[in-house]
Amino acid sequence: MSVKVDTILQSLTLEEKISLLAGKDFWETVPVKEKGVPSIKTSDGPNGARGETFTGGTRAACFPAAVCSAASWSPEFAHKIGNALAEETRTKSARVLLAPTMCNHRHPLGGRNFESFSEDPLLAGKMAANVVKGVQGQGIAATIKHFTANEQETDRLTVDEIVSERALREIYMKPFEITVKEANPWGVMTAYNKVNGTHADSHQFLLKQVLRGEWGWKGLVMSDWGGTNSTADALNAGLDLEMPGPTKFRTIEAVVEAVKKGEVTEQTITERAKNVLQLIEKVGGFANPEIPPEKSIVNPAHCKLIRDVAGQGITLLKNDNNILPLREDDVKGKTIGLFGLAKEALIHGGGSASLNAHYRITPEEGLKAAYGDSVTFKYAKGAHTYRLLPPLSDHCTDLQGNDGWTMQQFYPVNLNKPVKTTHKIKGSIFSPLLDNEAKDRAVKLSATFVPSETGSHYFGCSGLGPTSITVNGGLIFEQRNNSPDPMGFLLGGNPEKEFTVSFKAGESYKIEIFSKPPAGSSSWGILEGLPAFRMGFMNATEHDLDLLTEARDLANEADIAIVFTGHTPAWETEGQDQQTFNLPRDGSQDKLVSTVASINKKTIVVNSTGVAIAMPWLSNVSALIQAWFPGQEAGNAIADIISGAVNPSGRLPISWPKRIEDAPAYGNFPGEVKDGQRIVRYEEGVFVGYRHYDRVSKDTLYFPFGFGLSYTTFSLFSGHVAQPSASSFKATIAAKNTGKIAGSTVVQLYVGRKHQAQEHPIKTLAAFKKVFVQPGDQKSVELCFELKDFAYFDEGEKKWKVDRGEYDFSFGQSVAHVESVVTLGVEGTRDLWGKL
């Protein structure tokens, strides 16, 4: 503890110390100005520093999502991303970045998988550690999240994850352990969920025994937003900072009372306050307490980095007859049909990872920039891909005759007298997440709507609390209960049943939407008591439009067809898990691909999701590119791959099953509800991802972990493994470019027992390195790793162990493409417990 922190700490009263232990507002900490303690500001998120506004705020750089970054298998790029994220954070006047997200991909339907790196803890840990090093090297605090077992969004505030200590240690805590020990993050954010019956924010085992005890970490633990669930228990476990503010559990009165009752000691309060002060010092808050206005600065170096990382992460999964790349000379004068989401830039998922990007390059824009006038591009959408009907904005006037809607807030005890009225609101959607003044109030939105056409019009409606909608006084929609999925409502929208209402063109209709605050919502965190509703609208002409016929005609005309598929942020988002393994909506994208591929034999699919999806059309298409969510340069990065300007080198950081039923967590995701409590049992144990697929039929996978194609070919040979010390290893392998152009491959080293044991994975990733090789050349690749990188946790002895015996060290370009195996006798850990 520095002299400054010690001096300030001694000057603070108990009440002042308590005040530091929760946020001032949604993003900032509480100051104690008379004692020289400033506020510091935090900002989301993992793929860009969004700033203080969730939607439409200050523009920011959008970096590739973590899963795209992980597909590059390049910790060096992760470090550069960290540096850039720190610089972006500074433009938003924040000193704490709420990133990286680093929970494992347990199941393909995980709503937040895209925001995390991988199914493998080593790859996730190495990527996250380098992001943290990059961020903190610039004086900005990184906050690794969410600690731990936060692998689903369904009932995320209350779900109880039942997981063995071995699985916790080897799979779910391992990325955090790697990052803590290699990068020393200044902040750790707890998860919303329970782990084995106890909320993560008050979990003595996670926070006290492991994080601060065994790992020896010293830093600040903060809650996820609204993820504090107790007063004394969370303080005693080690939760330093409740976010956001104003506090729910840490009022001066509540904590002082807990101290008086002996539920928490004053020494514990002092320890928690010390950690807050130390974070303020680390990020320079004492030296420069100013929080200036946010800025939007387009940094060309960041733009280039985003394009480079995206190009390294985009993964070529199929390329029959080398249809790709489409070099300019080969396609000059031809017509290329663009289908599906070609006009949309799928640059990020929904929730905390979303932001108002500086710009968004669509695939169509990127391809046109790459080929200029040498190619004719034509477009047909071919499929409806929206999740919810868009808000009704056009042809609406508020109560004063302005364009837009009038919103009125009421105290529920007096619904006749509004306490606040706002006019000129655009769009019939109201999300009061940041408007705490609306808490426990009812809300009414009113407008006069004059339709432009006669006939049926489609509506889709839902509310966070009880909600009703009338047209000219007649009830057209009523929801009597609270939302069944409040976080889902907030971040992506609950599924809505569409219905029709008839209108006549030119006539005036008064539409009123009335929503009450949700009752009994005390477990909803930041959404407690907040009213919210949405009303989607679409005329029948647009809703019922036949898009497939136009696509079929273009597929006949085009020399080459490129179909862009994927998830918009509404479909893949924080707050809710995927509804289905198939692409949305209602099979329309699958039908589009199948239709185009049945007509045009040169069909290429470019898919933008953060997860594996079903691909019933895979055998009928010529090529498949997995673009992930590649950031604001999406279209340019995709065009770089298609045109051959960049030789693809992305490798899957996940396994890609053919059926959801073949996923190892199938049947245990998202769990079952009993007596009001959702429980998820991690019955698969340590057999997550490839650790599971290694043991079953290879026919269960479209593509294995670590897989990816290039426009050249590589071979690995002459593997060698030495053990220079009792706990360390050095491996070498020759990597040769056997093709005709320069490119990169990822050398992957897996370790497993020579004589397999049912309770242990066949192979475990222990080391990897990406290597660039010129055509015809070869390079010697050196991989250094340790016993701890393939150790298992013995629950009986409560120790990390490597048993004595023979082990296979397998060198490959994927977990299923092993080209060199070295068998070595290993003495194991024995007397090396302390060194693991």
Catalytic residues: 224
CA distances in angstroms from 355 to 48, 352, 404, 698, 728, listed in the order given: 7, 8, 24, 39, 43
Q: Hunting for tokens 């426990």 — which residue is that? A: 440
CA distance 462 to 389: 11
Q: How many CB atoms lie within 10 A of CB 807?
A: 23
Tallying the residues shown for the chain, one arrives at 836
Q: Please answer whether residues 533 and 577 qualify as being in contact, where contact means their C-beta atoms are separated by less than 8 angstroms.
A: no
Alpha-carbon distance 560 to 326, whole Å?
Answer: 10
Alpha carbon distance 602, 663 (integer Å):
31
- Name the helix (H) or strand (E) containing 6: helix 3-11
Are 408 and 444 in contact by the 8 Å Cβ rule? The answer is yes
Tokens of 795: 């629950």
**Amino acid making up residue 318:** K
Beta bridge partners of 536: 391, 460
DSSP-derived secondary structure letter, 341:
S
Cα–Cα dist 751/767, whole Å: 9
Can you tell me the distance from the alpha carbon of 32 to that of 34, in angstroms, rounded to the nearest whole number?
A: 6
Phi, psi (rounded to 5 degrees) for 615: -135, 70
Do 263 and 35 meet the contact criterion of CB atoms below 8 Å apart? no
Bridge-based pairing of strands 187-190 and 220-222 is: parallel
Write the DSSP string, 395-437: TEE-TTS-BSEEEEEEBTTBTTS-SEEEEEE-SSEE--TT-GG
**DSSP letter for each residue of 82-141:** HHHHHHHHHHTT-SEE---B-----STT-TTGGGS--SSHHHHHHHHHHHHHHHHTTTPE
538: left (phi over 0), alpha (psi -120 to 50) or beta: beta
How far is the C-alpha of 511 from the C-alpha of 428, rounded, in Å? 10
In what helix (H) or strand (E) does residue 605 lie, and over which residues does it extend? strand 603-608
CA dist 251 → 21, 225, 235, 248, 256 (Å)? 9, 17, 13, 7, 8
> Cα separation of 70 and 654, whole Å?
10
Residue type, 16: E
Q: Tell which residue, 77, 4, 104, 88, has the closest CA to residue 45.
A: 88
The widest CA-to-CA distance across the chain, in whole angstroms, is 85
Distance CA 238, CA 632 (A): 38
| Residue 78 contacts residue 127 (beta carbons within 8 Å) | yes
32 touches 19 (CB < 8 A): yes
Measured between alpha carbons, how far is 4 from 8 in angstroms, rounded to an integer?
A: 6
Nearest alpha carbon to residue 98 among 58, 59, 45: 45
Helix (H) or strand (E) holding 702: strand 701-703
Q: Where are the alpha helices (DSSP H) in 450-547?
A: 486-491, 540-543
Q: Name which of 102, 97, 93 is nearest 65 in CA terms.
A: 102
Secondary structure element (H or E) that encloses residue 371, with its range? helix 363-371
Amino acid at 744: S
